Amino acid sequence: MKTLSLKLDEFIFQETEQVLIRLKKTRNRYINEALQYYNRLQRKILLAKKIETESMLVQKESMKILAEFDNLDDYDN
């Protein structure tokens, strides 16, 4: 395990302490779980942005291919 020193805003610290009492968890376990959750959330957000960016990159080519498929119907008649 790594040791980490951090400074918390007083309100966040007090709120966390109240939650810890009710959950009966150690501060260390709680912070580890919170960071794990937040990391998962951020990875999902980053993946969504990447997918959106890549979708925009292929959008023009996709529209071109769809137009070509539409033109295939013209050959049947």
Dihedral in degrees, nearest 10, Cα atoms 34, 38, 13, 4: 80
Residue 69 confidence class, pLDDT cut points 50, 70, 90: confident
Domain region containing 72: 49-77
In a domain, 62, yes or no: yes
In a domain, 58, yes or no: yes
Which pLDDT score is estimated for 35?
97
Average pLDDT, the chain: 92
In a domain, 15, yes or no: no
Q: How many domains does the chain have?
A: 1
In angstroms, the first-to-last Cα distance of the chain is 71
For residues 2 and 25, what is the distance between their CA atoms, to the nearest angstrom?
Answer: 19
What are the pLDDT digits (tens) for 34-55? Answer: 999 999 999 999 999 999 999 9
Residue 19 confidence class, pLDDT cut points 50, 70, 90: very high
In a domain, 57, yes or no: yes
In a domain, 16, yes or no: no
